[in-house]
Structure 1
Amino acid sequence: MRVALFATCVNDALMPSTAIATVRLLERLGVEVDFPAAQSCCGQPQYNSGYRRACEPLVRRTVRAFAGYRHVVAPSGSCVATVRTAHPRIAARAGGGLAAAVGELTPRVYELSEFLVDVLGVEDVGAWFPHPVTYHPSCHGLRLLGLGDRPLRAVRGLKLLELPGAEECCGFGGTFALKNAAVSAAMAADKTAAALATGAEVLCGGDTSCLLHLGGTLRRQGAPLRPLHLAEILASTEAEPWRAP
């Protein structure tokens, strides 16, 4: 099976280890991974800020970049949710046949854990991660995609600790964190306090943006809790274990 990796701009610019781990994991499972170089931002920041017209070129670019691939996989619930929910709305108002092209693409775009469980039909990916972990479900992943922590439960050595108030937003919210910094910081403080109370060593999530937001809060606190993307945990094996940089 061949898939296209939708790395996302946040991972590409700020956390490339997430995209690298995604490729390692998929290739270990026998999946051939391509990286269409024409891909760029999905347009989520512009769309969330009310700049619909500025999103149209990015929607068109996304359609062109991933044309011809049966499956497109992204280690980001928020970007996948944007493609599925925002792109059709943008395309419907743009005209020029864009709606049909978007309608053809959206069913082929999967968040990483969706692809593993719902397409490959696998929860045990051969991962080994002997650490206590708590899982933060991002708002887009939880509310728009209905994602859970299924692949984590099959990781050997991992102790999964329930996160109190897991369904509450971490406060990032894209441009919300910029426009409402004080509220955003307070929400992150609540989320990190809940995560620290679990006694976990690692705070896992499926969206790099949330993890960067929470990670900054944890660093400023000097807290002994490390944010880590789901892909990096699933890519870790006994033969090639994850190691803190």
Structure 2
Amino acid sequence: MLIELEAQDYPRVRPLFRASYPNLAFVHAVLERAIPGCVWAGSGEREFAVALVATEAPFCFAAGAVTPALLDEMRALLADRPPIKLVHPRGLASAAPQLGFVAAERAQFGPGPGGYAPRDLRAPPGFELAAVDGHLFSRLNWRDPVLAIFGSVANYLRHGFGVCLLHDDQLVAEIHGVVGGGLCEFGCHTRADYRRRGLSSLVLGAACKHAVALGLAPFTTFDAGKIESEALSRSAGLHYEFHYPISQRIC
């Protein structure tokens, strides 16, 4: 049985999320209370044996000795917050559809074994890179998804960071990073009329370079099979790490 933890107990589940666990920036951001979320755990003989970390956005993370019965309990705990994308141990992929989930896979890219090597990417004439501040946040094209993760503009400015690209005083591309555990996971959005011009690579490369300057390891994750997202990650200097299973509930 899972119990909801008080915030001061969140760090106790950290050992269950090892270095090879995907989306670790999100997990640690919740455990560090940098983004809103909830944590449930189940006890073993001496310490927690299983944990569920849920953000206020669709992303949720299960680790430890997760059984199909516990996965069903997690489904019930998350029933009032569709849609969800639940990351869990690989062995549960076959059980997920029986519980009303749709099984899927995502891919993770990171700095590579030798560490991230920044690319020398320059903004073309007429374009300007800028850090996202309070004024630019109000103009974001991707504002609602970012607020779903961070909860408020103030929290975003305190615990996350972003880079945007301006053209003719219009915000045409943006990158946002979730920071936790010394890691930073980026999401990218480019206006439809500015895509296929290499601008996303420019902004992601600038964001990765800034992350490394802050002592953070940069990452991207995306649904498996997204050729454009894979090409974007590689062009910004990130390297393929692995695929991992998720269980989705859309409604």
- TM bin (shorter chain): under 0.3
Higher relative contact order (CA 8 A, sep 6+): 2
TM-score w.r.t. the length of structure 1 is: 0.28
Identify the structure with the greater helix proportion.
Answer: 1
